[in-house]
Structure 1
Amino acid sequence: MPTRYVAVCGATEATPSQLDAARQVGKLLARSGAIVINGGYGGVSGAASEGAASEGGTVVGLLSESDRDGANPHLTVSLPTGLGQGRNLLIVTAAESVIAIGRGWGTLSEIAHARRLGRAVFALDSWDVEGLEVVDTPAEAVKRAIGG
């Protein structure tokens, strides 16, 4: 099966259960051989990165700033963009599918960009927006995101 590129999007200010879900999503994506793409800092991005790295996965962080300061330590590749929130478009453009966890405003912008691009978005404890596919577990999110 070809390598899949999956964005894991979510708020920096996430609940403990959302962080646990993100960590599990990262682990499962890494086990499947998918490349994880995210915003590269803390919160959901940090937890997903940690989970993927713990399984030897590849994690690409597209950072909002023009340097690597503050990037989470679990990234395989950290790419400073200097684009601020504009980097959200890059994150979902680089991905083939998106898993959204939590309800931050940045997450909502990533969802909107992804849907505009025709990317499938799987919502796990996230926004209830028309066009999203709501899933109940990290395993279901990953299975759907990688085309299983």
Structure 2
Amino acid sequence: MKILVTYISMSGRNEKIAKHLATYLENKAEVDLEQMVDADAYSIPEYDAVVVVTYTYGDGQVPDEAQDFYEDLLDVDLEKTKFAVLGSSSKTHIHYGRAVDYFTMQLNSANGDQVADSVKINEDPDEDDMKRVERLGDYVIKSIE
């Protein structure tokens, strides 16, 4: 089993979340952890699953550094590749976690197979949030076993 965990992080929150998830999954599968600016959307079909970790920028946009990856998903047939999306945002923002929603829609449009509800974390992740991240990881593992 091979899983790609790709993330974009400005404050370090999403990097922390992605690294925690990758470490959690490493006992169960081969995991590649890549910053989204270095990840290749066209390589996703080579994986059994992909997990995207993103923040929401400005007025609810996908971060600029994630735009190439996001747009490339339009040209990729994920061939029912399993996926999940999560990310940190701020509940004080009117567009709380909207980039998580955008990535979820984009991956579904690319013929992906969503295996867990998207997870939105308010600002810095706490212990309960990390348990939610691990549960998302469990869903990903169960979907590819």
TM-score (structure 2 length as normaliser): 0.54
Superposed CA offset, 1:88-114 (max 9, x none): 211x12211110001422442465566
Q: Which amino acid aligns with 1:105?
A: Q
Q: Which amino acid aligns with 1:145?
A: V
> Gaps spanning 5+ residues in structure 1: where?
46-63, 65-84
Please tell me whether residue 9 in structure 1 is matched to residue 44 in structure 2: no
Q: Percent identity?
A: 10
How many residues align structurally? 100
Shift of 1:143: 0.8
Separation in 1 of the partners of 2:13 and 2:51? 15
Please tell me whether residue 88 in structure 1 is matched to residue 41 in structure 2: yes
Please tell me whether residue 135 in structure 1 is matched to residue 119 in structure 2: yes
Separation in 2 of the partners of 1:111 and 1:35? 23
Separation in 2 of the partners of 1:107 and 1:140? 25
Please tell me whether residue 145 in structure 1 is matched to residue 118 in structure 2: no
Separation in 2 of the partners of 1:115 and 1:17? 30
Partner of 2:80: 118
Structure 1 runs (4+) greater than 3 angstroms displaced: 109-116
Shift of 1:44: 6.4
Please tell me whether residue 108 in structure 1 is matched to residue 70 in structure 2: yes
Decide whether aligned partners of structure 1 residues 108 and 120 sit closer, same or farther in structure 2, where only a CA change above 3 A counts: same
CA contact (8 A) 2:3 2:30 kept: yes
Shift of 1:115: 6.2
Separation in 2 of the partners of 1:112 and 1:121? 15
TM-score (structure 1 length as normaliser): 0.53
Instruction: Name the SS of the counterpart of 2:101 in structure 1.
Output: coil
Shift of 1:142: 1.1
Q: Which amino acid aligns with 1:124?
A: L
Query: What is the root-mean-square deviation of aligned Cα atoms in Å?
Result: 2.9
Q: Which amino acid aligns with 2:5?
A: V
Decide whether aligned partners of structure 1 residues 17 and 23 sit closer, same or farther in structure 2, where only a CA change above 3 A counts: same
Decide whether aligned partners of structure 1 residues 15 and 110 sit closer, same or farther in structure 2, where only a CA change above 3 A counts: farther
CA contact (8 A) 2:2 2:48 kept: yes
